[in-house]
Amino acid sequence: MTDTHPEARAAEHPDEPSEVRPADITTIAKRSAAVLDAVEEVVIGQSEPLRVALASILAKGHVLFEDVPGLGKTLAARSLAQAMGLPFRRLQCTPDLLPADITGSYVYAPGTGEFVFRPGPVFTGLLLADELNRTAPKTQSALLEAMAEGQVTVEGTSFGLPSPFHVIATANPIEYEGTYALPEAQLDRFLVRLSVGYPDRAEEERVLTGRIARRTEVAHVDPVTDATGLRAMQAGVELVHVDPDIVHYCVDLAAATRRDRAVEVGASPRGSQALMLVSRALAVIDGRDFVTPDDVKRVAVPALAHRLTLTPAAWAAGTDPVRIVAGLVEAVPGPPVAARGAGV
């Protein structure tokens, strides 16, 4: 077998991104505001979920939108991808989808008499995995290595993915027909899980009038940045100050999930790290170079709730992990004084 296909060569030996100069806080905040403004022109009533989703991308993570059908999850994911200007592929997940349909596979080339690697849709800057939980767990797991390590392995050969690489997935509640529960390891690879919720009356009217005004079903968002610009924004986020008290608070919240009687398996250290990473990016979007306790509280539910495994009794009783995390945010004491900057 060989990888003489040009896309395969690029995939196995991707060009290392040249050293990126971090963008400053003001630039990141302005560019983030422009991204959100562009997306919110077509995605109505999702300001907070979109803000947290963008923060997750700036924190170099992956995003899962989960809610009932028809609320604009796919539109939100596609619009974010367009606004960030990344190479984009959409994968519609179905029950008959195979792992090779995601990663790619070796195929026989009659002209050379060899098997060559043909990359799958995962070889892109931003992959929209639409209705991820409508495909079987075996196929869902094909994304695990890509999301965790930025590469896929096919027939014993590893192929690196472009940088940056992000997954925005949508999912329907598992109670809906034709869905498969995402494995815990898969859920844990998503930095946040977001619920968009129903719009209010005024927002729903804006959805309808917007559709009338554009005279087409497909909404388009102009790019605000590109891959290089996004890498610079991500590098700038890494310079944000996190006070030790904020670190303690993130650890305390994650640890509290492990002690709750309704929880069989609580958030791991990856959960506390997610709290810190998304909080830091959210601070930058708000134009600050330091994290406050309120930043942590805003992202606690999206960052932690999907990482909890309930006890059988709690699950049977219909206990909601979201309510558990929200209750812990109220119960766990925060830092006595908010961090005020890098000099603190």
Residue 7 has pLDDT above 80, yes or no: no
Residue 88 has pLDDT above 70, yes or no: yes
| Torsions phi, psi for 171 (to 5 deg) | -150, 150
Query: Could you give the CA distance from residue 204 to residue 199 in angstroms, rounded to a whole number?
Result: 6
In a domain, 337, yes or no: no
* Same domain as 208, residue 140: yes
Query: Could you give the CA distance from residue 127 to residue 215 in angstroms, rounded to a whole number?
Result: 27
What band does 9 get if pLDDT is binned at 50, 70 and 90? Answer: very low
8 A C-beta contact, residue 107 and residue 118: yes
pLDDT value, residue 339: 46
Query: Could you give the CA distance from residue 294 to residue 43 in angstroms, rounded to a whole number?
Result: 25
Query: Could you give the CA distance from residue 335 to residue 247 in angstroms, rounded to a whole number?
Result: 10
In a domain, 339, yes or no: no
What band does 140 get if pLDDT is binned at 50, 70 and 90? Answer: confident
* Same domain as 304, residue 220: no
What band does 15 get if pLDDT is binned at 50, 70 and 90? Answer: very low
* Same domain as 194, residue 58: yes
CATH at 220: 3.40.50.300
* Same domain as 61, residue 150: yes
* Same domain as 265, residue 211: no
User: Coil, strand or helix: which one is 104?
Assistant: strand
Average pLDDT over residues 267-277: 95
What band does 230 get if pLDDT is binned at 50, 70 and 90? Answer: very high
Domain boundary among 208, 230, 252: 230
pLDDT value, residue 1: 53
What band does 334 get if pLDDT is binned at 50, 70 and 90? Answer: confident
CATH at 276: 1.10.8.80
Into how many domains does the chain fold? 2
pLDDT value, residue 159: 92
pLDDT value, residue 240: 94
Q: Which of 114-118, 278-282, 312-316 has the highest mean pLDDT?
A: 278-282
pLDDT value, residue 197: 83
Average pLDDT over residues 274-285: 96
* Same domain as 145, residue 64: yes
Query: Could you give the CA distance from residue 107 to residue 116 in angstroms, rounded to a whole number?
Result: 6
In a domain, 244, yes or no: yes
* Same domain as 285, residue 215: no
In a domain, 84, yes or no: yes
What band does 344 get if pLDDT is binned at 50, 70 and 90? Answer: very low
In a domain, 235, yes or no: no
Task: Name which of 330, 341, 126 is nearest 223 in CA terms.
Answer: 126
Report how far Cα 335 is from the mean position of its chain's Cα atoms: 28
pLDDT value, residue 241: 93
| Torsions phi, psi for 343 (to 5 deg) | -85, -5
* Same domain as 311, residue 178: no
Domain that holds residue 319: 240-331
* Same domain as 185, residue 307: no
pLDDT digits (tens, 9 = 90+) for 187-212: 889 999 998 888 889 988 988 988 88
Q: What is the pTM of this model?
A: 0.88
User: Coil, strand or helix: which one is 168?
Assistant: strand
Residue 12 has pLDDT above 50, yes or no: no
Q: Which residue has the higher pLDDT, 72 or 244?
A: 244
What band does 249 get if pLDDT is binned at 50, 70 and 90? Answer: very high
Amino acid residing at 46: Q
Domain boundary among 184, 209, 230: 230
pLDDT value, residue 176: 64
pLDDT digits (tens, 9 = 90+) for 52-76: 999 999 999 999 998 888 888 888 8
What band does 248 get if pLDDT is binned at 50, 70 and 90? Answer: very high
Angle 82-172-65 (CA atoms, 0-180°, nearest 5)?
Answer: 35
| Torsions phi, psi for 220 (to 5 deg) | -120, 140
pLDDT digits (tens, 9 = 90+) for 231-243: 999 999 999 999 9
Q: Over the Cα atoms of the chain, what is R_g? A: 21
* Same domain as 224, residue 94: yes
Token pair belonging to 143? 């994304």
* Same domain as 33, residue 135: yes
What band does 3 get if pLDDT is binned at 50, 70 and 90? Answer: low
Report how far Cα 285 is from the mean position of its chain's Cα atoms: 16
**Could you tell me whether strands 309-310 and 263-265 are parallel, antiparallel, or unpaired per DSSP bridges?**
antiparallel
The DSSP symbol for 261 reads T
Domain boundary among 194, 212, 230: 230
Task: Name which of 49, 12, 323 is nearest 192 in CA terms.
Answer: 49
Residue 21 has pLDDT above 60, yes or no: yes
Token pair belonging to 218? 């497909």
* Same domain as 180, residue 265: no
In a domain, 1, yes or no: no
Average pLDDT over residues 285-292: 95
In a domain, 20, yes or no: yes
pLDDT value, residue 177: 65
